[in-house]
Amino acid sequence: MYRGDEQLNMGSAGGKKRLYDPAEEACPTRAGVPRREEEERFGRTGAVLVVCLMTLPFFVFFFGGRENAAAVWQSAASKLAAMNGGFTNASHARSRGAATKADELFGGLLAPGLDRRACLSRYQSPQYYRHSPYAPSSRLLHKLRAYEARHKKCGPGTPLYAKSIEQLRSGHGTEVMECNYLVWLPYNGIGNRMLSLLSTFLYALLTGRVLLVYSTDDFTDLFCEPFPDATWVLPPDFPVANLSQLGWSTDQSYKNLLGQKKIVSDPEKATVLTVPPYVYVNLAHDPRFTDTMFYCNDDQLVLAKVNWLLLYSDLYFVPSLYSITEFQDELQWLFPAKESVSHLLTRYLFHPTNSVWGLVTRYYHTYLAQAEERIGMQIRMFSWASIPVDDMYNQILACSRREHILPDIDGDEAGDTASLAKTNGVDAAAGLKAVLIASLHADYYDRIRSAYYEHAAKGGVRVGVFQPSHEERQKTGKRTHNQKALAEIYLLSFSDVLLTTGRSTFGYVSSSLAGLRPAILHTPYNHKVPEMPCVRAISMEPCLHALPRVNCQRKAANKMDLARHVKACEDVGGGVKMFD
């Protein structure tokens, strides 16, 4: 069973809910927001028009067909171009200069007031992104601010945290506590970890829990603290011993507790049982050991009574959260566009530390900053699906031709030289394209660089090819390796065009941060070159590689509704992802 970039390793609250109106998210002034308040937020009255123009094509696309959508996009783009001085993407216009005060917080996604010097990436990264296809909903902004307040109130070092720890040490979970906790246990490489941590954070948002991270040595000095005036790091004196050794066989696993009748998957009967002090939930890739009942609505009502949940996962399990009836309405309000979940939450949650950000910015400004267009290529060869380097290189070129990614090569060198001379005028950057290759191996970088060294690109376009590192093999467990990998994820996310490897969580994270739908290389089957070299993703959402097989007894989700938004992945047979 495949589960990402890694080798196989066995080791509402009360209150009346208001029906969601998508038109309110499209045009905020219709949701009862005073126009003056909107003008102050966006800096000009035209901002509301921009939001409406950008949202209108999506509604036409979903409800009126692709043909109508294309016409509306053209109309909207022309109006926006006039308003933005010729740029059809506001973030593209920002890329030439510093981000504005409002932009540096991703439209309110990030909370203000954190120490800029302690985490430079938090405030500087908006200057590097050219694509911001989705703005956060007002519901998501409210939920994030409420979570930050809860984390500050309940996090490590607070009296409420100390009280919960004492109850955990006592071995009894009968007393209802003010704060409930969710401990994330890291597993596998950096891409898998980021996606599973993002999924765990979303689960914490939905259930009112406080997220704490069990930080191993190889996961330190990668990310800044994301929440104001609080830490998300689990203190070392946490009373549950050997967290990294917990597994499906532990007595406190949810599956074992159910099997031994120590807890009953019935919210009414559970009230008369002794609630365990903590429950270990395994949501890893292998279905033999996964606590699949976790995804049932009644089981969620039971787990809500447990003060401490320890969650172990290496998957992007967000699509499975949509199958839980209790969460469906809230997820719809938080993310009106299903495709926006990973894009918004990666930008909210993950901010590289200054040491990693230094790797990113030094390389970017040295090699990539002057390019008019940046092309990112993430190339991964899996040992279980390997093909000769020549075949892989030809697959990359075939995909590039199919999706128009790399500049074409002109066979007429004399004509190319003349064309190139014409570009050496005032704006030399106008004809410069930078190709950034992220790969464990140097073979593809050498070949693509040589191709543009030996032949000119058509139209006199200048092409620079760059690769920050080639570690040769994945070194899971090494901090320096993870730091380099994280730096390359962010460098890829600053691209205008992306080509990624199918099944690779590394590529999923880059696409989510970038806000792009990449061209995805098909994985070889039986060590043979795929007949179709690649496919263009129709959603930037990551793929859930291992869909849990579970038969919930009661209150199952509406399968017809799920089918409209959860579809088969382009790159993983049996996997699912979110679509709009």
Closest-CA residue to 347 (of 526, 520, 535, 494): 494
Identify the pLDDT of residue 30: 35
Phi then psi for 454, rounded to 5 degrees? -85, -20
Identify the pLDDT of residue 9: 33
pTM equals: 0.81
Identify the pLDDT of residue 512: 98
What are 489-542's pLDDT values in tens digits? 999 999 999 999 999 999 999 999 999 999 999 999 888 999 999 999 999 999
* Sole residue written with tokens 């030094």: 362
Tokens of 95: 């890329």
Question: How crowded is residue 185: how many other Cβ atoms within 10 Å of its Cβ?
Answer: 22
What letter represents residue 218's amino acid? D
Helix/strand/coil (H/E/C) assignment for every residue in 268-299: CHHHHCCCCCEEEEECCCCCCCCCHHHHCHHH
Identify the pLDDT of residue 466: 98
Identify the pLDDT of residue 527: 87
- How far is residue 368's CA from residue 361's CA, in Å, rounded to a whole number? 10
Identify the pLDDT of residue 428: 52
What letter represents residue 182's amino acid? L
Angle at 387 between CA 384 and CA 389, to 5 degrees: 130
CA 104 to chain CA centroid, Å, is 19
- How far is residue 190's CA from residue 481's CA, in Å, rounded to a whole number? 9
Positive or negative, the Cα torsion across 495, 497, 501, 505? positive
- How far is residue 203's CA from residue 206's CA, in Å, rounded to a whole number? 5
Identify the pLDDT of residue 268: 64
Tokens of 182: 């969710």
Identify the pLDDT of residue 58: 36
- How far is residue 537's CA from residue 556's CA, in Å, rounded to a whole number? 29
The CATH number of domain 354-536 is 1.10.357:
no
Parts of the chain belonging to CATH 3.40.50: 354-536
Tokens of 88: 């059809």
Which of the residues in the chain have pLDDT under 70? 1-102, 173-174, 266-274, 411-430, 472-477, 554-561
Helix, strand, coil share (%) of the chain residues, nearest 5: 45, 10, 45
Closest-CA residue to 341 (of 140, 492, 192, 143): 140
